[in-house]
Each structure stands twice: as structure tokens, then as C-alpha cells.
């Protein structure tokens, strides 16, 4: 019988904890896309994969918790996640979308708390960079989720404000990563790929105005956010392996 996956180091824990933030927003993105029939097959696949990975990592992180405080965070996250998972698993509709937005924020907040707590246990610059790079994954999904929320008239103007704030944070964090002394040439090459994808992403993001919808732009936002996620997941893994 194969051994169950488990957290193998503090860097691994920070990476996985940060990935939970991303999955909270990726699930919301998929729900908003499904509600508008945007790439329904892909959206359903991404939603199912996001829920399954969050479940698996939550077990690992709760078992690993190196302090009582971190253990308490993951116990709280378990309860909030169960509520969110039930909401995002229902057939999408507008009242449900409002609830998904609310609960995705609560899950994100708790997942971020766990990540920051684990970074504190690490106490080294690499831990911070894993956290920052991992947060870029979340921001890519958060921008897409709230773009799709706005296009569905879910908190339209407020959702666009979230997109703008997440975009600004992403750009600043990218500068931090590029300038960090620990960032290797290999990591810089990956960050350059993320920059290129972000250019396409921004073009789609900027096509939306409050109260409007654009099916092609929504599809572009969904797929490009997946590509940025893949690159930044690679980058986060590269920082994790630094010693």
C-alpha cells in the first residue's frame, strides 16, 4: 500500500499552505465561469481538481502543524472549507455566487494566516520568497475570479476594484521577486515567461467595464490565468528547493 502524501519540510509546508490560498480563488473562478457557460468542460475539470487538491493538502497541513497556534488555524480552516466546498459544488446561480464570493474570502483569509504562521516558523529569506511567489498564484486566480464575477453582475463595481487591487499587488510582488538576491537566473527566466503571459492577461482584464460582459474576453481571462498559475507554481517550487 502506497504511503499517504505528507509535508516533508517547512519549505514544503509554506508552498502547500500558500497553494491553499490559490485554490480558494481558483474554485471561485470556476464557479463564476460555469454560471456564465464560459469554457464549461474546462471549468468543471478545474473546479473538481481544485477541490480535491485542497482536501488532500488540508489533511497534510493539519497533520504537520508545528505549533498549537498553527494547529488551531487549520482546525478553523477545516470548518470554513467544508461550508465553502458545499456552496461552490452546487449548480451555479446568482444568489449562490454572492455566497461563494463571501466564503472564498473567508477561506483565503484563514489559508493566508496559516501560510504567514508557517513562514514565521521558517525564519529565513527563502521562506518569505516561497510565500510571495506562492501568493502570485493566488492573485492570478483572484483577478480572474472577480473579473468573471463582475461580468456576471455579481458586485460589479466592487469586483472590478478587487481586480485592480490584486493587479497592483501582483506587479509589485513581481518586482520584489526579480530583485531578490536569492533569485537565480533560472528563476528569472521563469518570471520573464510570467511577465509575457501577464501582458495578455491584462489586455483581457482591461476589456471589461462595469455592467458589461464579453464572452471571448472571459474565456481568455480563464485560460491565461491558468498559464500564469502554472508558471508561478514552477517558480514557487524553485524557491522551495533553494537552501
> Quick one: cell of 146?
472577480
* pLDDT at residue 212, as a whole number: 60
Q: What contacts 9, CB < 8 A, 6 or more positions away? A: none
Distance (Å, rounded) from C-alpha 233 to C-alpha 181? 20
* pLDDT at residue 187, as a whole number: 97
Segments of the chain scoring below 70 in pLDDT: 1-4, 208-213, 243
> Rounded to whole angstroms, what are the CA distances from 101 to 39, 57, 131, 145?
20, 22, 23, 9
State pLDDT tens for residues 75-94: 999 999 999 999 999 999 99
* pLDDT at residue 31, as a whole number: 98
Distance (Å, rounded) from C-alpha 221 to C-alpha 96? 22
* pLDDT at residue 206, as a whole number: 81
Q: What contacts 160, CB < 8 A, 6 or more positions away? A: 146, 147, 150, 208, 210
* Farthest CA pair distance, the chain: 54
* pLDDT at residue 1, as a whole number: 43
* pLDDT at residue 95, as a whole number: 95
* pLDDT at residue 216, as a whole number: 87
* pLDDT at residue 211, as a whole number: 55
Amino acid at each position: 500500500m502506497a504511503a499517504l502524501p505528507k509535508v516533508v519540510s517547512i519549505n514544503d509546508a509554506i508552498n502547500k499552505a500558500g497553494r491553499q490560498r490559490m485554490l480558494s480563488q481558483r474554485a471561485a473562478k470556476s464557479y463564476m465561469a460555469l454560471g456564465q457557460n464560459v469554457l464549461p468542460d474546462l471549468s468543471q475539470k478545474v473546479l473538481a481538481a481544485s477541490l480535491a487538491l485542497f482536501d488532500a493538502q488540508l489533511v497534510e497541513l493539519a497533520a504537520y502543524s508545528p505549533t498549537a497556534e498553527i494547529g488551531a488555524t487549520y482546525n478553523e480552516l477545516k470548518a470554513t472549507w467544508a461550508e465553502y466546498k458545499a456552496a461552490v459544488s452546487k449548480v451555479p446561480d446568482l444568489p449562490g455566487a454572492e455566497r461563494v464570493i463571501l466564503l472564498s474570502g473567508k477561506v483565503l483569509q484563514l489559508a493566508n494566516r496559516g501560510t504567514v504562521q508557517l513562514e514565521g516558523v521558517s525564519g529565513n529569506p527563502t521562506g518569505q520568497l516561497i510565500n510571495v511567489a506562492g501568493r502570485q498564484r493566488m492573485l492570478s486566480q483572484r483577478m480572474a475570479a472577480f473579473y468573471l464575477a463582475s461580468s456576471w453582475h455579481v458586485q460589479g463595481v466592487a469586483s472590478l476594484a478587487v481586480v485592480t487591487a490584486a493587479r497592483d499587488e501582483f506587479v509589485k510582488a513581481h518586482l520584489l521577486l526579480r530583485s531578490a538576491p536569492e533569485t537565480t537566473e533560472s528563476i528569472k527566466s521563469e518570471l520573464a515567461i510570467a511577465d509575457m503571459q501577464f501582458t495578455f492577461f491584462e489586455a483581457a482584464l482591461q476589456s471589461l467595464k462595469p455592467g458589461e460582459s464579453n464572452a471571448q474576453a472571459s474565456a481568455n481571462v480563464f485560460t491565461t490565468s491558468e498559464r500564469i498559475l502554472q508558471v508561478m507554481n514552477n517558480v514557487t517550487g524553485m524557491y522551495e528547493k533553494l537552501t
